[in-house]
Amino acid sequence: MIEIRFHGRGGQGAVIASRLLAEAAFIEGKDVQAFPFFGVERRGAPVTAFTKVDDRPIRVKSMIYEPDYVIVLDTALLEYINVGEGLKDDGRILINAPAAMAAEYKKKLGATVDVVDGTGIALEHGLGSRESPIVNTSMVGAFAKTGVVSIESVAEAVKRQVKRKVEPNIQAARDAFDMVEMEVAE
C-alpha cells in the first residue's frame, strides 16, 4: 500500500487534493481511500488529509502514521508542524516552494525533498487570489511525477471532480508535472 499525507491550510485545497489523487488512482484500477483530519474548521487553520492507494482492497481504516509521501501545500507549516514525522526511510516530501529552496528544505527535514512552485503556477492560471492561491491541482500534478499515478489520470480526475475552472486546473497540474524535478533518492 502507498500512503500519502497532505499538510495545508483551510482554503488551499488539501482535502480536495487528497480526493483528486484518490480519483486518479481509482481511474487506474486501484483501491483507494481519501479522508481529512481537521482541528478547528476555519479558513487558514492547519488541515491534514490522507490518501491510501493499493492494488488490493484496503481494509485498514486509520490515519497515516508512516507515510511513503508527504505533500506540503504551505511552507509556513514547516515552522511548527513536523511534516516529516513517521516518513518511511525511502519516503519523499513534495513542497510547494521555489526550486531554489530545495537544498534548504532537504537539510532542514533530513529527507528526500522535491519542490515545485505551486503558488506561482496557481496564480498564473487564476486559481485563487494572490493572498490565497489554490495550489491543490498543481501539487497533485507534480506528485504524478512519482509514477504513483499518471498525469493523464490526474487530468481526468480534475474533469470528474472539479466544478469550476476545469481547464485552468488541468493546465496547472500539467505545468507542475513538467516543472518539478524529482531528486534522486540516496
Domain count, the chain: 1
Domain assignment present for 103: yes
CA angle 174, 31, 7 (to 5 degrees): 55
Task: Look at residue 132 in the predicted model and tell me its pLDDT.
Answer: 86
Higher pLDDT pick, 151 / 102: 151
User: What is the residue range of 99's domain?
Assistant: 2-179
- Residue 34, C-alpha cell as written in the block: 481519501
Strands 92-96 and 46-54: unpaired
Model pLDDT, residue 99: 87
Instruction: Give the model's confidence band at 176: pLDDT under 50 very low, under 70 low, under 90 confident, else very high.
Output: very high
Residues 14, 36: contact at Cβ < 8 Å? yes
Q: What is the mean pLDDT of the chain?
A: 92
Mean local confidence (pLDDT), 10-38:
91
**Among 43-47, 48-52, 129-133, 162-166, the least confident range:** 43-47
| 184 in any annotated domain | no
% the chain with pLDDT above 70: 95
Who's near 63: CB < 8 A, 6+ residues apart?
37, 48, 50
Kindly state whether residue 46 falls inside one of the protein's structural domains: yes
Per-residue confidence at 186, pLDDT binned at 50, 70, 90? Answer: low
Region of 135 on the Ramachandran plot (φ > 0 left; ψ -120 to 50 alpha; else beta): alpha
Q: pLDDT (tens digit, 9 = 90+) per residue, 123-172?
A: 999 998 888 899 999 999 999 999 999 999 999 999 999 999 999 999 99
* Mean of pLDDT values over 73-83: 92
Residue 185 has pLDDT above 90, yes or no: no
Which percentage of the chain shows pLDDT scores above 90?
75
Q: What is the pLDDT of residue 7?
A: 94
Selection from 22, 15, 17 nearest residue 37 by Cα: 15
Answer whether 0.85 is exceeded by the pTM.
yes
Is 93 inside any structural domain? Answer: yes
pLDDT of 93 strictly over 90: yes
Closest CA to 137 of 10, 3, 24, 4: 24
Rounded alpha-carbon distances, angstroms, from residue 89 to 106, 146, 185: 14, 16, 10
pLDDT attached to residue 9 = 87
Q: Give the domain CATH number at 171.
A: 3.40.920.10
